[in-house]
Amino acid sequence: MGFKIGEIAKKSGVPASTIRYYVKEGLLPSPERVNKKMAYYDEACIGKLEAIQQLQDRKFYPLSVIRNILRRMDDGFSLEESEEVENAVFSPMAGGETDLVDRSEFLRVTGLTSDQLDEVETIGLVMPYLREKKQALYNQEDVTIARDAVRQVYRYGLDPRDLEFYVRLAREITEHEVLLRRKITSGMSAKGNARITADLTRAANLFRSYVLRRLFQQKIQSRIQRSLGRSKNDSEE
């Protein structure tokens, strides 16, 4: 039949109040209720509680990330495999940060005003890493783009809407990537699908960065060569 919450708490070392909170947040399955005062938890909850504690203690993952990892474990993944997929696709700890910041802290560390943040989020130049209970949370990647790129846009008096092409073209690229992944993973098991998705995500991240950087470099080099050619012709005249 399972275990009472007190037994689960004793075996896992996690307080009963925390176990109830995890159930409420969707990290643990709801217990089987016998009556209003009696409920039994599946034995698998003990393993999940151990995984949750490891992820929080070692990686400081937010609950939304842990929820994703646990769902993969339900599909037969080990903790390590589930975490590897999460890191490859979502990079929850990109840059080595150990925490996420809310909107007020984000504004403080980036120097943006509230109106500026509203504007660039509407355009899509800044997209919060996640939203929990309708609250936006930002990671280090969000902070870096806002502080080192968005602030420069405002500093030089540019209109952020002129940069909307980044979002529009990125959405088109993303759609093509998703279609390619679906084509490759069609008919695969959940485990095989996740493995291919992780590998393709790493490759896609490299392709995006490499191709855009090289195209930009080639464009600038071409301009430089044309400029040098004009200067040479002028001097010969």
Q: Is the pLDDT assigned to residue 59 strictly greater than 80?
A: no
The answer as to whether 84 is a domain residue is no
What number is the average pLDDT over the span 14-27? 93
Q: Is the pLDDT assigned to residue 45 strictly greater than 70?
A: yes
**Model pLDDT for residues 194-229, shown as the tens digit of each residue:** 888 889 999 999 999 999 999 999 999 999 988 887
User: Quick one: 234 and 168 in the same domain?
Assistant: yes
- Residue 52 — very low, low, confident or very high, per pLDDT cuts 50/70/90? very high
User: Quick one: 148 and 166 in the same domain?
Assistant: no
Q: Which has more confidence, 6 or 230?
A: 6
User: Quick one: 144 and 193 in the same domain?
Assistant: no
- Residue 96 — very low, low, confident or very high, per pLDDT cuts 50/70/90? very low
User: Quick one: 146 and 166 in the same domain?
Assistant: no
In this prediction the pTM is: 0.73
User: Quick one: 175 and 236 in the same domain?
Assistant: yes
CATH of the domain at 107: 1.10.1660.10
The answer as to whether 85 is a domain residue is no
User: Quick one: 70 and 119 in the same domain?
Assistant: no
What number is the average pLDDT over the span 145-150? 97
User: Quick one: 12 and 55 in the same domain?
Assistant: yes
What local confidence, expressed as pLDDT, does residue 217 receive?
96
Query: Above pLDDT 70, what percent of the chain?
Result: 92
What number is the average pLDDT over the span 144-151? 96
Structural contact between residues 198 and 85, judged by C-beta atoms closer than 8 angstroms: yes
Per DSSP, the residues of the chain read --B-HHHHHHHH---HHHHHHHHHTTSSPPPEEEETTEEEB-THHHHHHHHHHHHHHHH---HHHHHHHHHHHHTT--HHHHHHHHHHHH-TTGGG----B-HHHHHHHH---HHHHHHHHHHTSS--SEEETTEEEB-HHHHHHIIIIIHHHHHTT--GGGGHHHHHHHHHHHHHHHHHHHHHHTT--HHHHHHHHHHHHHHHHHHHHHHHHHHHHHHHHHHHHHHHHHHHHHHH-
- Residue 94 — very low, low, confident or very high, per pLDDT cuts 50/70/90? very low
User: Quick one: 23 and 68 in the same domain?
Assistant: yes
Domain boundary among 40, 75, 110: 75
Domain boundary among 118, 137, 158: 158
Tally the domains of the chain: 3
The answer as to whether 86 is a domain residue is no
* Residues spanned by the domain of 113: 93-158
User: Quick one: 154 and 165 in the same domain?
Assistant: no
Q: Is the pLDDT assigned to residue 169 strictly greater than 90?
A: yes
What number is the average pLDDT over the span 83-101? 69
d(CA 204, CA 170): 12
Closest CA to 77 of 181, 197, 195: 195
The answer as to whether 125 is a domain residue is yes
User: Quick one: 195 and 232 in the same domain?
Assistant: yes
What local confidence, expressed as pLDDT, does residue 207 receive?
95
The answer as to whether 216 is a domain residue is yes
Domain boundary among 42, 75, 108: 75
